[in-house]
Amino acid sequence: MASFDEMLSKHTIFKNISVLSPHYIPKTLPFREEQIKELMMILSPALKEQKPRNLIIYGKTGSGKTCSVKKVMEEFGKMKADAKMHYLNCRIYNSRYRIFQKTLKTYMPELEKAGFGLPYLYEKLLEILKEGHQMMVVLDEVDMIKDLDDLIYTLTRANDEAVSGGISIIGISNKLSFKENLDPRSKSSLYETEILFPPYTSEQLQKILEQRSKEGFVEGSIEASAINLAAAITAQESGDARYALKLLTKAGEIAEQNKKEKVDDSDVEAARKKVELDLVSETVNTLPEMHQIVLHAIASLSMNGSRYSRLEGIENDGFLISGEVHEEYEKVCKSLRKKSRSLRWYREYLNELEMLGMITTTPSSRGIRGHTTLIRLGQNPKDVRNITKKNLFGE
């Protein structure tokens, strides 16, 4: 039988693999000094017992938004002030109630228990604010909140009612377009300030990977050309630093499995296919069941090609007609003995899948069955279908 001692004594090219994690926050964040400075400036009034402005932070996935905010939170936490920053991942805390409960239990641990109604939580929030507290709620992936308009309205009202203290929203979003769905009042109250995080360039990604490699890999165990290739592939794909870091980590693991002393270009190329699949799996596995059923329907149809597009003469570039996807979704529900949801919910699932970059939708040109929506899968259909099939059918 293998032992932990045996594992620990094994030769490894990694010095500290956690440094290569996208969740690791380094001492310095290259190429984000300007954004961090702006963030600190916006939040600094809270240290003088004043309410900071609401803020929306935009940028593609892996452009350093969350890392920069967490870095600022670290610095903010060192200051002695009656102000607190609260970080919430809105894929998990995706409703007004959950956000209230999670934030307020920091001040009142008894709220951990379920069963308190929203009016009660609202009164407790007012009590906290009346004590002079400044609260800054960081909503990461803010576009995933189902009742965002209600949340903004409630927090705005709380600020109006609070004599002292205040609550500010810092929203983080991958989508520039999500505000289009907001109520005009929410829009004007939420968009007091905006910060845009541009994607990293190939040169910037190279420097980021060099910085992490020095701490993450044993000296001399990764070739400079492998770092350059990982940066070039990522810049070409998306400019996503998380993707670049995963690419480098996976390349290191492949080199180790092959008992190599150094990570080279061939390991990065081999890692590329695996990382793309890992990222798709990661996203799909966190989706609720109904979203996965819709995705399964889209992937299945994408593999076989659109029936209607052949009938109606649509140029076949991977697009499906919304109606046929809905029919397939109902079929999959039936085979799983699940009740399919209404058309309104189905459209909601499509919106959320698009927000996550899993699909793209576009209105059809005139003459195609009236006015319809065309849907295209953003990932390899076979990979998506295999993942959803395993999750839904256990196959």
| Per-domain boundaries in the chain | 33-197, 200-284, 288-393
Fold annotation for 33-197: Rossmann fold (3.40.50)
- Residue 269's pLDDT band, with cuts at 50, 70 and 90, is very high
CB atoms within 10 A of CB 391: 18
Nearest in space to 388 (alpha carbons), one of 305, 281, 306 = 281
Per-residue pLDDT averaged across 245-272, rounded? 94
Residue 290 pLDDT = 93
Q: Read off the pLDDT band of 2 (50, 70, 90).
A: low
What mean pLDDT do residues 69-79 have? 93
Q: Are strands 55-59 and 166-173 parallel, antiparallel or unpaired?
A: parallel
Which range among 62-66, 162-166, 313-317, 366-370 has the greatest average pLDDT? 62-66
Q: Which of 141, 156, 145 is nearest to 186 (CA)?
A: 156
Q: What is the mean pLDDT of residues 79-97?
A: 91
Mean pLDDT, residues 211-217:
95
What is the tens place of the pLDDT at every residue in 298-314?
A: 999 998 876 665 555 55
For residue 320, the surrounding DSSP H or E stretch is: strand 320-321
pLDDT digits (tens, 9 = 90+) for 315-342: 556 789 999 999 999 999 999 999 999 9
Question: 3-state DSSP: the chain helix, strand, coil percent, rounded to 5?
Answer: 55, 10, 30
Mean pLDDT of 349-354: 88
The whole-number pLDDT of residue 298 equals: 95
Tell me the whole-structure pTM to 2 decimals. Answer: 0.78
- pLDDT higher than 70, residue 70: yes
CATH code linked to domain 288-393: 1.10.10.10
Question: Which pLDDT band holds residue 365 (cuts at 50, 70, 90)?
Answer: low
Q: Does 152 have pLDDT greater than 60?
A: yes
**Assigned CATH topology for domain 200-284:** Helicase, Ruva Protein; domain 3 (1.10.8)
How far is Cα 301 from Cα 313, in angstroms, rounded to an integer?
17
